[in-house]
A and B are shown apart, each in its own frame.
Chain A
Amino acid sequence: MNLLAMTVLVAFRILSRHRLRSALTMLGIIIGVGAVIAMVSIGQGAKAAVQAQIATYGTNVITVYPGSINVSGVRTGLGGAVTLTSADIEELGKLPHVTDVGWSRREAVQIVHENRNWFTSVNGVVLGYLTIRNWSLDAGDLFIQTDIDAASKVILLGKTVVDNLFLPGEDAIGATVRLKNIPFRVVGTLAAKGFDSRGTDQDDVVFIPFSTAERKVMGTKFIGSIGAGFLSAEAPEYMDQVAADVKRVLRQRHKIRGDQDDDFTVRNQLDTVKLQEGTSESMTLMLLAVASISLLVGGIGIMNILLVSVTERTREIGIRMAVGAKRRHILLQFLVEAVVISAFGGLIGVVIGVAGAKVASNFAGWPTIISSHSMFIAFGFSALVGVFFGLYPANKASRLNPIDALRYE
């Protein structure tokens, strides 16, 4: 212990003797670690932001659309035949691990309040939809079952719609707005959700009871036809099973035979999450590549400068050996020097990386998450780089012949 402490002290002294040289040697490690810390922080921040965005869709949601999407991405069977009904979705609610179901129908409409108007999409929804899709109130109340049953003319407004129809400070609750000249009473305004992953403003929306939409606003060729059905699963691990069950039940109900295409599309939210995780995984791999390359370059720099140092101090090594230093003493001395350089560089790199991430998040408005986990790993790795690349020069020094070292010019 005493020996190690002394060796570390000597290493610090020798490195501080060549400040510029030590600093330049550290640079590779500093840049590598700094870049990795900054990029990991930004990457994790971005990942969290995307995850939060995905979560605005709801949790463990399986969505069913009428019509199928063929290989070329064109949706078929839409518009013509009615392929999905509220009865279908109600039936799916009986599947195991399904906690809630809901459905909606959408139409683009002009909505008017006094002398203002706004073009938005109106959604006829059932209560289950609002729960599954995680809509919460900013003010007022949600629909109640009697609104649905009685096809009441009540409406919920998204934040963007409120902003465009009402003056700042003006109370929307209780106001009357008109859709297709039908007066609706505003019962609630919704908490903002922001943009979805495709960049669509999720708050540019209004909700009315499904029954109202069906009977009074949209009109329908077929009672019960819906634009989309939503199911929430008990837990993420059941989602694949539920999605498969949905497919099976719907094919049965729609009397689709074995070789025929589905006339509906099932979308599993987990797939979106997996897709996103895949992206962040490849990003992590790229980071890892950048990190290893820069640590490699930094390590080679350390090895290079250590080889120079061994040559410069050959006589010193000889003197130490003459007074009784063993191979392991010399080995330890140079190894400690390498680790001090790399660990110190790693430490500075961590500090710079954290600062860089903070600056980036301030200027660019990116969210960043700085995890102590990644800091420890980066620091540990840089210390390891010191051991690895210090080993060769240190070993070379320790294998010097005492008399040759002493005689070295």
Chain B
Amino acid sequence: MSLIVCRDLVKTYSMGETDVHALRGVSLTITAGECVAIMGASGSGKSTVMNILGCLDVPTSGTYELDGVDVSTLGANRLADIRNRKIGFVFQNFNLIPRTTARENVQLPLFYRGIPSREQQALALRALERVGLAGRERHHPSQLSGGQQQRVAIARALVTNPILILADEPTGNLDSQASREIMDMLTRLNTQEKMTIVLVTHEPEIAQYAHRVITMKDGIILSDRPVAESQASPVVMEQAGG
């Protein structure tokens, strides 16, 4: 079934005299369980699409249905609820709260969901274990490497068991080794947990982890094609083989 259905998304920023057309009509359908990569030149509107998909921003016009709900009509509180329950975010710059421990960062979505404190802690610790950060739960972001910080961010995204993970250039600030680890983790969430993943990347190698690549240019979708079986990522191959 379709998890995401977008029709004619338009986003226009008015900058005084001139208007910036970030999106000029994007229609997109993503099925539950897919792993989609969005590519395109800088300024082509990738992040704008992601922010709308993540209910962080609203389109100027067009409709967006997430999990059967028309999101375009919802108020701020309902959107906060949807972000909390259905979506996990991974950002290029990690976006962890500074001077706050890894565990507390991971707990944050559970806190706003109103889960009892003990349960929050237990779930956060388990999520940190899953991203290979057991024992680092008391570290502050500044005491962790970039790759580790991004893993904390992934733990925070998955701790609520969302149906959708949105990752905007999750490896943009990482070296190739750390990038590979992060991508492995994300693809595992896709294959094992059946979470739908949409990621933005500039690197073709990273895009190879996805099943489908959408290319954008100047606020429209230029191409939308599946990744050829032969080009599938090594990890997927390994798992398929093993």
Known contacts A2-B114, A324-B81, A326-B80; is A316 also within 8 Å of B97 by CB? yes
Chain B contact patch, size range: 20 to 34
16 contacts between A and B (CB under 8 A): A315-B95, A319-B97, A320-B108, A320-B112, A322-B54, A323-B83, A323-B109, A323-B112, A324-B83, A326-B76, A326-B81, A329-B112, A402-B56, A403-B51, A403-B56, A406-B91
Q: Find residues 87-137 in chain B having any chain A CB closer than 8 Å to their own CB.
A: 89, 91, 95-99, 108-109, 111-114, 116-117
Interface residues of A in 297-352 (CB under 8 A from B): 315-316, 318-327, 329
Q: Is B77 part of the binding interface, using a Cβ–Cβ cutoff of 8 Å?
A: yes
Q: Which residue of A lies closest to B86 (CB)?
A: A324
B56 partner, pick from A17, A329, A406, beta carbons under 8 A = A406
CB distance from B42 to the nearest CB of A (A): 15
The interface bits of chain B over 63-86 (1 if a CB of A lies within 8 angstroms of the residue's CB, else 0) are 000000000000011001101110
* Residues of A with C-beta under 8 A to B95: 315, 318-319, 322, 406
A6 within 8 A of B: yes
B57 within 8 A of A: yes
Minimum CB–CB distance from B196 to chain A (whole Å) comes to: 18
| Interface flag for A144 (CB, 8 Å) | no
**Chain A residue, CB-CB nearest to B91:** A406
Q: Residue of B at shortest CB range from A320?
A: B108
Min CB–CB distance B163 → chain A (angstroms): 14
Query: How far apart are the CA atoms of A319 and B105 in the complex, in Å?
Result: 10
Query: What is the CA–CA distance of A321 and B57 in the complex, to the nearest angstrom?
Result: 12
List the 9 shortest-distance A-B pairs measured between CB atoms, nearest first: A324-B84, A323-B109, A324-B112, A403-B57, A403-B56, A326-B80, A402-B56, A325-B112, A323-B108
| A6 in contact with B111 (CB, 8 Å) | yes
B156 in contact (CB, < 8 A): yes
Name A377-409 residues within 8 Å CB distance of B: 401-403, 406
Q: A2-B114, A3-B114 are in contact. Are A323 and B76 (CB under 8 A)?
A: no
Q: Write out the residue numbers on chain B whose beta carbons fall within 8 Å of the beta carbon of A3.
A: 111, 114
Q: Shortest distance in angstroms between B138's beta carbon and chain A's nearest beta carbon?
A: 14
A238 to B8, CA, bound (A): 88
Docked Cα-Cα span, A166 to B109, in Å, equals 88
Q: Report whether B80 and A324 are in contact in the complex, using a CB–CB cutoff of 8 Å.
A: yes
In the bound complex, CA of A2 to CA of B119 (Å): 12
Distance to closest chain A CB from B92 (angstroms): 11
* Nearest CB of chain B from residue A302's CB, rounded to whole Å: 22
Interchain Cβ contacts within 8 Å, total number = 63
- What chain A residues lie within 8 Å of B89 (beta carbons)? 322-323
> Which of the listed residues A318, A319, A321, A323 has the most CB atoms from chain B within 10 Å of its own CB?
A323
Instruction: Kindly list chain A residues whose C-beta atoms are within 8 Å of the C-beta of B99.
Output: 17
Pair B112/A327 contact, Cβ less than 8 Å: no
Binding site for B on A (CB under 8 A): 2-3, 6, 17, 315-316, 318-327, 329, 401-403, 406
Contact code string B132-158 (vs A, CB < 8 Å = 1, else 0): 000000000000000000000000100
**Chain B residues in contact with chain A, CB under 8 A?**
51, 54, 56-57, 76-77, 80-81, 83-85, 89, 91, 95-99, 108-109, 111-114, 116-117, 156
Taking the nearest CB of chain A, how far is it from the CB of B94, in angstroms?
10
Distance of A319 Cα from B113 Cα, bound (Å): 15
Distance of A406 Cα from B51 Cα, bound (Å)? 11
Known contacts A2-B114, A329-B112, A403-B56; A322 and B83 CB within 8 A of each other: yes
Q: Which A residue sits closest to B96, measured CB to CB?
A: A319
Report the separation of the CA atoms of residues A325 and B81 in the bound assembly, to the nearest whole angstrom: 8
B85 — nearest CB in chain A belongs to which residue?
A: A324
| Chain B residues with CB under 8 A of A320 | 97, 108, 112
Contact of B116 among A2, A319, A403 (CB under 8 A): A2
| Shortest Cβ gap from A319 to chain B (Å) | 5
- In angstroms, Cα B108 to Cα A339, docked, is 23
**What's the Cα separation between A323 and B113 when bound, in Å?**
10
- Among residues of B, the one whose C-beta sits closest to the C-beta of A326 is B80
A403 to B53, CA, bound (A): 12
Complex-state Cα separation, A17 to B140, whole angstroms: 14
Interface centre among B83, B111, B116 (most CB of A within 10 A): B111
- List 10 additional contacts besides A3-B114, A327-B80, A403-B57; criterion CB under 8 Å: A2-B116, A3-B111, A17-B99, A319-B97, A322-B95, A323-B89, A324-B81, A326-B77, A327-B76, A329-B112
**What's the Cα separation between A322 and B85 when bound, in Å?**
11
Complex Cα distance, B116 from A406, in Å, reads 27
A404 nearest CB neighbor, chain B only: B57
| Residue pair A321, B114 in contact (C-beta under 8 Å) | no
Nearest B residue to A401 via CB reads B57
Say whether A321 contacts B80, CB under 8 Å. yes
Docked-complex contact A326 and B112, CB < 8 angstroms: yes
B113 CB contacts on chain A under 8 angstroms: 324
Q: Give the residues in chain B near A326, CB-CB below 8 Å.
A: 76-77, 80-81, 112
Q: Is the CB of B77 within 8 A of A327?
A: yes
* Bound CA–CA A406/B168 (angstroms): 13
Chain A residues in 8 Å Cβ range of B77: 326-327
A residues in contact with B76, CB < 8 Å: 326-327
Complex CA distance for A319 and B56, rounded to whole angstroms: 10
* A2–B117 CB distance below 8 A: yes
Contact of B117 among A6, A17, A321, A402 (CB under 8 A): A6
CA distance A329 to B108 in the complex (A): 12
**A323 near B56 (CB under 8 angstroms)?**
no
Determine the distance from Cα of A76 to Cα of B112 in the docked complex, in whole angstroms.
84
Residues of B within 8 A of A319 (CB): 95-97, 108
Q: What is the CA–CA distance of A323 and B56 in the complex, to the nearest angstrom?
A: 10
Q: Which of A17, A320, A324, A326 has the most CB of B within 10 A?
A: A324
CB distance from B204 to the nearest CB of A (A): 27
Instruction: Provide the residues of chain B in CB contact with A321, threshold 8 Å.
Output: 56, 80, 83
Report the Cα distance A190→B216, complex, angstroms.
106
In the docked arrangement, what's the CA distance between A318 and B83, Å?
Answer: 12
Q: Which residues of the other chain, A, contact B54 by a CB distance below 8 angstroms?
A: 322
